[in-house]
């Protein structure tokens, strides 16, 4: 009597384990993907929340996209750039302003007491002046428009600035004083970003900051291109989109908090 062929599957433990691994693989991959997304979202929330909490706990602060001007009790004036924060103490024999975040322009009035601005461990002694101090991700900066300032570090270094000069600070160390177009660099006070031969990534970052968004630039080569132009900070989203189009870049916005450029 003829019988049809019968397929016999291996029943060894090793075979069963292999089949189980094949079935579990997609689930494992899905789990890693979900975990990575959770970590990304968590990191993004932390990046957004920390600066917000710093501004919330400061004496004077501005929101993303806002420029805020205030007059202190001694008559001095401060203008805060977008997403900036300062602490102010005018009660003692030395008037003090501490830059917590962002950028501030100061127009200081004499009242017989010294006026000092602090950013990290750097101290800026005001000798009757109009100037700006900024706190960046990798460096701080002082730009003098009028008067004099003396900048000193925790390492005992000192630099004196004259009008139209800039000083960069990295890791608490003072750089060399350089002559700059101070009016152009401080055009943000009028809602303008005026750049000349500046890396594209820096311009995109500035426009993203004004929207309260973080920038993730995936094309490093494009980011090094030098660009020049005038951009309206009060319409930062439009300026960002126009620049990306001109430079033939694609952008993706993630929940309004992260802008991916490639």
pLDDT in tens, 101-142: 999 999 999 999 999 999 999 999 998 799 999 998 889 999
Split at pLDDT 50, 70, 90, the class of 33 is low
Matching residue, tokens 């800026």: 124
Mean pLDDT value across residues 54-58? 84
Quick: pLDDT tens for 190-238.
Answer: 999 999 999 999 999 999 999 999 999 999 999 999 999 999 999 999 9
pTM of the model: 0.80
Split at pLDDT 50, 70, 90, the class of 7 is very low
CA angle, residues 68, 74, 76, in degrees to nearest 5: 40
239 within 8 A of 210, measured Cβ to Cβ: no
Region of 201 on the Ramachandran plot (φ > 0 left; ψ -120 to 50 alpha; else beta): alpha
Nearest to 210 by CA among 235, 183, 174: 235
CATH architecture of 60-181: Sandwich (2.60)
For 191-261, CATH gives 3.55.50.30
């Amino acid at each position: 009597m003829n019988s049809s062929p019968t397929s016999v599957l291996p029943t060894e433990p090793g075979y069963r384990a292999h089949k189980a691994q094949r079935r579990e693989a997609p689930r494992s991959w899905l789990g890693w993907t979900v975990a990575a997304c959770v970590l990304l979202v968590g990191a993004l929330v932390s990046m957004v929340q920390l600066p917000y909490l710093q501004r919330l706990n400061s004496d004077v602060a501005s929101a993303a996209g806002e420029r805020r001007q205030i007059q202190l009790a001694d008559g001095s004036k401060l203008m805060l750039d977008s997403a900036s924060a300062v602490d102010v103490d005018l009660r003692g024999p030395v008037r003090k302003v501490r830059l917590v975040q962002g950028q501030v322009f100061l127009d200081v009035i004499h009242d017989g007491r010294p006026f000092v601005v602090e950013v990290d461990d750097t101290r800026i002694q005001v000798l009757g002046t109009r100037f700006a101090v900024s706190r960046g991700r990798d460096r701080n900066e002082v730009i003098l428009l009028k008067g004099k300032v003396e900048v000193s570090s925790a390492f005992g270094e000192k630099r004196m600035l004259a009008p139209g000069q800039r000083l960069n600070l990295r890791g608490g160390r003072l750089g060399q004083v350089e002559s700059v177009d101070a009016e152009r660099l401080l055009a943000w006070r009028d809602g303008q970003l005026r750049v000349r031969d500046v890396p594209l990534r820096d311009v995109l970052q500035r426009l993203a900051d004004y929207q309260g968004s973080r920038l993730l630039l995936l094309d490093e080569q494009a980011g090094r291109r030098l660009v020049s132009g005038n951009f309206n900070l009060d319409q930062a989203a439009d300026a960002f989109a126009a620049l990306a189009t001109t430079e033939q870049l694609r952008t993706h916005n993630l929940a309004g908090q992260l802008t991916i450029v490639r």
